[in-house]
């Protein structure tokens, strides 16, 4: 395709080279400023950032490791930015690197997780944080929320502290996001397994193993001070995480709602679209090697004239999982959505599914039961502005073609897939509720200088736009596809010439991809949202590893970056 690739009319900026510098770079004519960083005060009387801050301070400050985010306009000069705070880094959160954490340390860690809702105001034409904003809110790992939908009140969700099975404390490992046409924010719980552990050595059954839950956590040590994270003592607590949570950002007193109808897995984002017939459709990736890609279709229909009366459309509906098949042509084929409904497709008591709640709580096992395709870590999904094409990043998968359970398949055709790819599908007749679709691979990242065949990448990859591990993606209003990376930034060997993690911009009509932004040392670039006029773009720098953004000997702090064009124009033109 490369030779015939016509020059994109959508992409108006000069591509930038790779970088290994500890800074953010953008094209000539653009500017990138830090809007807000981990630990910045977001309430009027909140203390300033210091590594010595305690739990109470952190609960009034911007959370750590910002990821997915959504810009909600309030007026021309007022807005609310909802931002996920995925996780923490012990070595930066504490002065003592997280050794032998105290009860206050554990609470501080929990307070650095969740979601930050931050009002912005325009001062001299530029957006700044407004600590006086009445919608400012922190949602943390201990904020009370409600379980809704078919799994609410199920025995698998009941705990000693919550015999109702519908009152859950907190959300954490909030990876990416989504938003609804009725004005709510969706935050997605990803690697929740990493927070459960036990003082005792215990062997947990296969429904735990499938989600990576064991008696050792990923080092957070919450179980030492908050008993509900001791999985031996409270084995149902892990069932209460791994969900999509819906938040009403316009009511700081509202109770966030976990939406069980969307299934329990390691959620990346929630790409919501309204089908032509009014059904609300949500596409969702489960980011783990060999896991699956899902679709939810609401039972009810969206009616724009009903406003907030649409607000419970995610409470009930049908969940599906994708099966991809190949064709005579390489890198394209057909697909089918397999229904995950109790009593259908072998989801029966004999196979371990006594009811619909079990199907949803153990969605991964249900997906295996119905014969879903194992994927190369499905991360973000994005629906094109035409509402007829959907894209998903398959970030990488070192197990592909290596583990017997993850053989090569048409949609995941590369052994170990070190560079990742972006798959695209078109629902039959442009109808997102249809059971079938056609797919192709929009881009296979690779290294055309060092590799050959599939490892070189598709024709739209060249020495000037190489990258690896596509992760965050999103379309702007004009239909530009923004691609963010979370990959190998060694700039050596198979990744030589790729530099730090970055953001690129693609014209999905012509296939052209240009590098727009390079991030600081060791970071990943993740999270994107725009103002309605597309003249300010917000982008996340997560887990920088040197001294960004302060420089000098400052400790690194994850930050939201604000990109503007010097001539005030639309970003990307």
Residues within the interface to ligand FEO (CB under 6 A): 86, 175, 190, 268, 287, 379
Q: Let me know: does 65 contact 526? Beta carbons within 8 Å.
A: no
3-state secondary structure string across 99-141: CCCCHHHHHHHHHHCEEEEEEEEEECCEEEECCCCCCCEEECC
Burial of 142 from C-beta contacts in 10 A (0-12 / 13-18 / 19+): middle
| E-strand stretches of 229-368 | 244-247, 257-259, 271-274, 279-285, 293-301, 317-326, 332-339
Smallest gap from residue 472 Cβ to Ca ion (A): 6
Smallest gap from residue 246 Cβ to ligand FEO (A): 19
Token pair of 253 as six digits: 């007193």
Report d(CA 130, CA 43) in Å as an integer.
8
Number of residues binding to Ca ion, judged by CB under 5 A: 3
Torsion sign, CA atoms 190, 193, 194, 196: positive
Q: Which of helix, strand or coil describes residue 484?
A: strand
Q: Please, which residue, 296 or 380, has the CB nearer to ligand FEO?
A: 380
Among 230, 248, 471, 476, binds Ca ion (CB under 5 A): 471
Smallest gap from residue 513 Cβ to ligand FEO (A): 21
Instruction: Name residues whose C-beta falls within 8 Å of residue 355's C-beta, 6 or more positions apart in sequence.
Output: 154, 342
Residue nearest to Ca ion (CB): 486
Q: Please, which residue, 59 or 188, has the CB nearer to Ca ion?
A: 188
Torsion sign, CA atoms 296, 301, 303, 306: negative
The entry of ligand FEO, Ca ion, none that residue 237 binds, CB within 5 to 8 Å by partner kind: none
The secondary structure element, H or E, covering residue 357 is: helix 356-361
Q: Please, which residue, 190 or 215, has the CB nearer to ligand FEO?
A: 190
Residue span binding Ca ion (CB under 5 A) among the ranges 10-18, 96-104, 136-144, 468-476: 468-476
Smallest gap from residue 433 Cβ to ligand FEO (A): 27
Smallest gap from residue 486 Cβ to ligand FEO (A): 7
Residue span binding Ca ion (CB under 5 A) among the ranges 145-153, 305-313, 326-334, 371-379: 371-379
Q: Please, which residue, 179 or 471, has the CB nearer to Ca ion?
A: 471
Q: Please, which residue, 192 or 223, has the CB nearer to ligand FEO?
A: 192
Smallest gap from residue 86 Cβ to ligand FEO (A): 6
Q: Please, which residue, 520 or 527, has the CB nearer to ligand FEO?
A: 527
Which residue has 């509720």 as its token pair? 433
Token pair of 190 as six digits: 């990803």
Report d(CA 67, CA 86) in Å as an integer.
6
Report d(CA 112, CA 172) in Å as an integer.
9
Q: Please, which residue, 470 or 572, has the CB nearer to ligand FEO?
A: 470
What is the residue-wise DSSP string for 326-346? E-SSTTEEEEEEEE--TTSTT
Smallest gap from residue 331 Cβ to ligand FEO (A): 24
Smallest gap from residue 114 Cβ to Ca ion (A): 15
Q: Please, which residue, 67 or 179, has the CB nearer to ligand FEO?
A: 67
The entry of ligand FEO, Ca ion, none that residue 444 binds, CB within 5 to 8 Å by partner kind: none
Smallest gap from residue 268 Cβ to ligand FEO (A): 5
The entry of ligand FEO, Ca ion, none that residue 217 binds, CB within 5 to 8 Å by partner kind: none
Q: Provide the edge-to-edge strand list for the sheet that holds 513-518.
A: 470-475, 480-485, 502-507, 513-518
Q: For the chain, how big is the Rg over CA atoms in Å?
A: 22
Q: Let me know: does 528 contact 480? Beta carbons within 8 Å.
A: no
Q: Which of residues 375-394 bind Ca ion (CB under 5 A)?
A: 379
Smallest gap from residue 292 Cβ to ligand FEO (A): 14
Q: Please, which residue, 133 or 242, has the CB nearer to Ca ion?
A: 242
Smallest gap from residue 347 Cβ to ligand FEO (A): 26
Q: Which of helix, strand or coil describes residue 356?
A: helix
How many CA atoms lie less than 13 Å away from 478 in the CB half-sphere?
19
Report d(CA 554, CA 556) in Å as an integer.
6
Q: Please, which residue, 42 or 175, has the CB nearer to ligand FEO?
A: 175
Q: Please, which residue, 310 or 395, has the CB nearer to ligand FEO?
A: 395
Q: Which of helix, strand or coil describes residue 274?
A: strand
Q: Which of helix, strand or coil describes residue 240?
A: helix
Q: Please, which residue, 240 or 543, has the CB nearer to ligand FEO?
A: 543
Q: Please, which residue, 40 or 287, has the CB nearer to ligand FEO?
A: 287
Token pair of 27 as six digits: 């094209």
Smallest gap from residue 172 Cβ to ligand FEO (A): 12
Smallest gap from residue 267 Cβ to ligand FEO (A): 9
Among 215, 237, 246, 486, binds Ca ion (CB under 5 A): 486
Report d(CA 331, CA 443) in Å as an integer.
10
Q: How far is CA 353 from CA 123, 359, 360, in A?
A: 56, 6, 10
Length in residues, the chain: 573
The entry of ligand FEO, Ca ion, none that residue 190 binds, CB within 5 to 8 Å by partner kind: ligand FEO
Q: Which of helix, strand or coil describes residue 155?
A: helix
The entry of Ca ion, ligand FEO, none that residue 119 binds, CB within 5 to 8 Å by partner kind: none
What single DSSP character describes residue 88? -
> What residues make contact with Ca ion under the rule CB under 5 A?
379, 471, 486
């Amino acid at each position: 395709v490369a030779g015939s690739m016509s020059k994109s009319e959508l992409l108006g900026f000069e591509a930038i080279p790779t970088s290994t510098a500890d800074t953010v770079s953008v094209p000539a004519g653009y500017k990138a400023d830090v809007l807000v960083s981990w630990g910045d005060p977001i309430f009027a009387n909140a203390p300033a950032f210091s590594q010595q801050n305690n739990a109470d301070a952190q609960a009034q400050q911007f959370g750590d490791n910002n990821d997915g985010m959504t810009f909600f306009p309030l007026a021309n000069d007022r807005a609310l930015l909802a931002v996920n705070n995925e996780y923490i880094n012990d070595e930066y959160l504490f002065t003592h690197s997280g050794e032998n954490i105290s009860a206050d340390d554990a609470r501080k860690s929990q307070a650095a997780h969740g979601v930050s809702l931050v009002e912005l105001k325009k001062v001299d034409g530029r957006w700044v944080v407004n600590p006086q904003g009445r919608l400012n809110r922190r949602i943390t790992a201990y904020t009370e929320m409600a379980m809704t939908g078919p799994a609410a009140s199920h025995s698998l969700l009941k705990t000693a502290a919550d015999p109702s099975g519908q009152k859950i404390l907190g959300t954490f490992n909030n990876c990416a996001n989504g938003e609804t046409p009725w004005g709510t924010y969706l935050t997605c719980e990803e690697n929740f397994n990493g927070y459960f552990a036990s003082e005792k050595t215990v062997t947990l059954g296969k429904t735990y193993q499938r989600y990576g839950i064991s008696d050792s956590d990923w080092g957070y040590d919450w179980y030492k001070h908050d008993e509900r994270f001791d999985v031996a003592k409270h084995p149902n607590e892990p069932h209460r995480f791994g969900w999509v949570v819906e938040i009403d950002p316009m009511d700081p007193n509202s109770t966030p709602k976990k939406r069980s109808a969307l299934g329990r897995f390691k959620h990346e984002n929630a790409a919501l679209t309204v089908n032509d017939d009014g059904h609300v459709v949500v596409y969702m990736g489960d980011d783990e090697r060999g896991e699956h890609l899902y679709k939810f279709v609401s039972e009810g229909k969206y009616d724009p004239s009903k406003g907030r009366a649409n607000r419970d459309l995610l409470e009930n509906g049908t969940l599906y999982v994708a099966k991809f098949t190949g064709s005579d042509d390489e890198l394209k084929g057909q697909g089918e959505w397999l229904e995950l409904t109790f009593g259908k497709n072998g989801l029966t008591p004999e196979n371990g599914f006594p009811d619909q709640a079990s199907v949803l709580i153990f969605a991964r096992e249900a997906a295996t039961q119905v014969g879903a395709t194992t994927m190369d870590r499905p991360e973000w999904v994005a629906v094109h502005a035409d509402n007829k094409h959907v894209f998903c990043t398959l970030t990488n998968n070192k197990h592909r073609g290596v583990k017997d359970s993850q053989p090569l398949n048409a949609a995941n055709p590369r052994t170990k897939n070190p560079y990742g790819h972006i798959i695209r599908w078109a629902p039959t007749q442009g109808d997102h509720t249809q059971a079938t679709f056609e797919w192709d691979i929009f881009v296979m990242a690779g290294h055309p200088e060092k590799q050959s065949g599939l490892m070189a990448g598709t024709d739209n990859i060249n020495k000037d736009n190489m990258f690896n591990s596509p992760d965050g993606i999103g379309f702007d209003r004009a239909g530009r596809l923004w691609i963010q990376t979370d990959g190998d930034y060694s700039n050596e060997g198979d990744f030589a010439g790729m530099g730090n993690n970055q953001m690129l911009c693609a014209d999905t009509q012509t296939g052209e991809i240009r590098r727009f932004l390079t991030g600081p040392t060791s970071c990943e670039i993740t999270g994107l949202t725009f103002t309605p006029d597309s003249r300010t773009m917000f982008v996340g720098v997560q887990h920088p590893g040197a001294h960004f953004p302060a420089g000098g000997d400052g400790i690194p702090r994850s930050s939201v970056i604000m990109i503007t064009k010097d001539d005030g124009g639309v970003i990307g033109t």
